[in-house]
Amino acid sequence: ELKVEQNPLFLSMQEGKNYTIYCNYSTTSDRLYWYRQDPGKSLESLFVLLSNGAVKQEGRLMASLDTKARLSTLHITAAVHDLSATYFCAVDAYNNNDMRFGAGTRLTVKP
């Protein structure tokens, strides 16, 4: 069974600081997704990573994928309050299109 693990589950940061969220998964896959969820809202797509070594950046967020290590990272640079949300990674079971999510990282950015 495909398992997706994120850490940390809770992250409190000061504005201006950098940090990395990690996502490990248990089976062969080269498709990794990051989503954002604001309180009381549904999930919105942030990044799609489709190959080993893929890197995507949007503003202060950068996501990367290492399929050999079965690891994706979401790096936050110079955090700002607007980034406060819960971030989920998700993985397609290889050749199965069966999307499984991690438990999420609840990020709080403090002034």
Partner 1 sequence: GAGVSQSPRYKVAKRGQDVALRCDPISGHVSLFWYQQALGQGPEFLTYFQNEAQLDKSGLPSDRFFAERPEGSVSTLKIQRTQQEDSAVYLCASSFLPGAGANVLTFGAGSRLTVL
- 56 vs 70, beta carbon nearer partner 1: 56
Confirm if 55 and 48 have CB atoms less than 8 A apart. no
Q: How far is the CB of 35 from partner 1 (least distance, A)?
A: 8
Q: How far is the CB of 74 from partner 1 (least distance, A)?
A: 15
Task: By CB under 8 A, tell whether 103 contacts partner 1.
Answer: yes
Task: By CB under 8 A, tell whether 48 contacts partner 1.
Answer: yes
Binding-site size for partner 1 (CB under 8 A) equals 25
Confirm if 24 and 75 have CB atoms less than 8 A apart. no
Helix runs in the chain, H state only: none
Q: Tally the C-alpha atoms within 13 A of residue 91's C-alpha that lie toward its C-beta.
A: 26
**Of the candidates 85, 86, 83, which has an alpha carbon nearest to the alpha carbon of residue 15?**
83
Q: Provide the binding-site residues for partner 1, judged by CB under 8 A.
A: 6, 31, 33, 35, 41-45, 48, 50, 88, 90, 92, 95-104, 106
